[in-house]
A = this chain, B = another copy of it.
Amino acid sequence: MTTSSHHHHPSEPPTAHPSASGKGTGSPSFDPIAVADDLARTFAATAIERDKLGGTAKRERDQLRASGLLALSVPTSLGGHGRSWSLVLDVVRRLARVDGSLAHLFGFHHLLLGTARLFSPEAQWAPWLRSTVEHSWFWGNALNPLDTRTTIVARDGLTHLQTHPQTHQIDGQKSFCSGASDSDRLVVSALDPDKRLVVAVVPTTRAGILILDDWDNMGQRQTDSGQVRFEGVVVDESEILRQPGPLGSVFASLRPCIAQLVLTNVYLGLGEGALDEGARWTRGNGRPWVTSGVERPSDDPYVLHHAGEFWVALAGARALADAAARQLDEAWGRGDALTAAERADTALGIGTAKVAATRAGLAVASGIFEITGARATAARAGLDRFWRNLRTHTLHDPVDYRLRELGRWVLTGAPPRPSFYS
């Protein structure tokens, strides 16, 4: 139990143990929370400037590589830290408090490692994960099922009747390829001649892969979520995730659950970060309103009211996100024994948390200015980046459809149908 004899960091629930994360079984001397908090402090120092610049956060990506955190979810047998999803997500949230872009890239790196584990047999993914630890690989994303412009065909002239020709070729273009720039491995999706989704893992340096570096958005500006072009990119059969393939089993269908919970924790961290920074600004610079009759903003009844509201919203989302992470850990631990009903429970828990984090994050990021007052709108304060990041990222897939899914389950008991978005 934490104490409140000194001032809590507002992103720390008064109730919580220092970290909501399970401890995992990995290298005991490695304290990922401490490492993450250190990195977060480093990232914070330049976050406002880098948000302005956009582009690839090369130095910070290398700091992540050097930190060991990219090996967090890799089994200890392969040299990794063997930590739980709960812990990975806790780190995502801590990074997001100061930098939504890096939090997203970090979370998706582990999602992509998990994708390999879910969609292919251990014999296939184990070497990739071992190399990830050895070479500090950063994985990037080119798996965007909504963008159907990329195709894969057999390269050796065999028809699609032969399901496994030895080499293939990918052509086309993909948008929203977060973290492709400066990545070491790319997870790529493409449609085969039968319009089936094929997912492969390839080195980013593979000939024919062109990263367009064309991401210029209002938020999440250093996620490099631009387009990647594929021109005759050769892919070996051994690089394709066939067994069980994309969403090819109940267990494999945990993939979107992980993705959604990464997003959830980015949103939550951004909301917490907005409250942290807004409260700090107010303590340092805030002035009471001229007719408030009080001496400090922290005596103003309306300022206190807003702060209380923000806290309650974030605390609720956090409690749901933590519970959902525990569900995910449990479901992950079930492996191929995972049932459809258990998967549904996990998806519902995660969906609930995601809606709450979306709402809480946006409310805090927009509302925090009611606490700080007008002078906190100075560009140098950078306080608008939380809203811009949240607003951009919360559109990944519509929260309205998450609510529809939850509502259907409440009214009819029908579970969400697994897809890349639910």
Contacts and interface: CB of A to CB of B under 8 A. Distances in A.
Interface in A399-422: 399-413, 415, 419, 421-422
A396 interface: yes
Contacts of A218: 377-379, 381, 383-384
A312 B400 contact: no
Given A298-B411, A377-B219, A311 B352 contact: yes
A303 interface: yes
A323 interface: yes
A301 interface: yes
Contact of A348 (B14, B391, B399): B14
Contacts of A304: 403-404, 407-408, 411
Most chain B CB within 10 A, of A308, A369, A399, is at: A308
Interface in A274-331: 275, 279, 282-283, 289-292, 297-298, 301-312, 315-317, 319-320, 322-324, 326-327, 330
B327 A320 contact: no
A184 interface: no
B404 A377 contact: no
Contacts of A370: 395, 398-400
A208 interface: no
B369 A366 contact: no
Contacts of A3: 339, 341-342, 345
A400 B302 contact: yes
Nearest to A415: B4
A392 B377 contact: yes
B298 A404 contact: no
Nearest to A354: B312
B14 A305 contact: no
A68 interface: no
B378 A309 contact: no
21 contacts: A1-B345, A5-B339, A5-B340, A15-B346, A146-B290, A216-B378, A289-B401, A301-B302, A302-B305, A303-B407, A303-B411, A308-B404, A308-B406, A309-B403, A311-B352, A311-B407, A311-B409, A316-B319, A316-B356, A369-B395, A373-B398
A384 B219 contact: yes
A395 to B, nearest CB: 4
Interface of A: 1-8, 10, 13-15, 146, 176, 216-219, 275, 279, 282-283, 289-292, 297-298, 301-312, 315-317, 319-320, 322-324, 326-327, 330, 339-342, 344-346, 348-349, 352, 355-356, 359, 362, 366, 369-371, 373-374, 377-381, 383-384, 387-388, 391-392, 395-413, 415, 419, 421-422
A413 B182 CA distance: 42
Contact of A312 (B282, B297, B310, B403): B403
Contact of A421 (B8, B290, B352, B387): B290
Given A307-B407, A324-B15, A391 B413 contact: no
B1 A407 contact: no
A397 B289 contact: yes
A340 B413 CA distance: 45
A404 B383 CA distance: 24
A327 B304 CA distance: 24
